[in-house]
Amino acid sequence: MDGNKEMNEREVNKKETDEQEKIERELTPRERMEQIVAELEEEHRKEKELTRPAYWRGLMTGFLICAFLALVMMVSVNTIVKKKSNQPYKVIDTSGSQATIDDIESKLSSLEELVNQYYYYTDKVDMNVIADQIYRAYMSGLKDKYAAYYTKDEMTQRMESVNGSYCGIGAVVSQNDNKEVIVIQPYENSPAEQAGLKQGDIILSIDGTSLAGMTLDEAVSLVKGEEGSSAVFKVKREENEFEVDIVRKQVAVPTVTSEMKEGNVGYVYISSFELTTVDQFTQAVDKLIEDGAKGIVFDLRNNGGGALDAVIDMLDYLLPEGLLMYVEDKYDNRQNYTSDKECVNQEIPMAVLINDKSASASEVFTGALQDYERAKIFGTKSYGKGVVQNLIPLSDGSGIKMTIAEYFTPKGRNFDGNGIDPDETVELPTEEEAYDERGVLKEGYDTQLNRAVEYIKEQTTE
Catalytic residues, which ones?
360, 371, 385
The Cα 258–Cα 188 span in angstroms is 14
Q: Where does residue 185 rank: exposed (0-12), middle (13-18), buried (19+ CB within 10 A)?
A: middle
- The single-letter code of the amino acid at 53 is P
The DSSP output letter for 414 is -
Tell me how far apart the 2 most distant CA atoms of the chain are, in Å.
166
Give, rounded to a whole angstrom, the gap between the first and last alpha carbons of the chain.
162
Q: Which residues contact 128 (CB under 8 A, 6 or more apart)?
A: none
Dihedral (Cα; 219, 224, 225, 230), 10-degree rounding: 90
Q: Which residues lie across from 257 on neighbouring strands?
A: 269
Q: Which residues contact 455 (CB under 8 A, 6 or more apart)?
A: 349, 351, 376, 378
- The single-letter code of the amino acid at 364 is V
Beta strands in 330-398 (DSSP E): 334-339, 350-354, 376-379, 387-393
SS3 category, 21 = helix
Q: Which residues contact 410 (CB under 8 A, 6 or more apart)?
A: 322, 323, 324, 325, 367, 368, 371, 372
Least Cα distance to 353 among 252, 265, 414, 253 occurs for 265
The Cα 333–Cα 374 span in angstroms is 29
Other CB atoms within 10 Å distance of the CB of residue 255: 21
Up-side HSE of residue 138: CA atoms within 13 Å toward CB? 16
Look at strands 295-299 and 265-270 and give their pairing. parallel
Specify the length of the chain in residues.
462
The DSSP output letter for 257 is E
The DSSP output letter for 387 is E
The Cα 415–Cα 422 span in angstroms is 13
- The single-letter code of the amino acid at 297 is V
SS3 category, 409 = coil
CB burial readout 66-84, b (16+ within 10 A) else e: eeeeeeeeeeeeeeeeeee
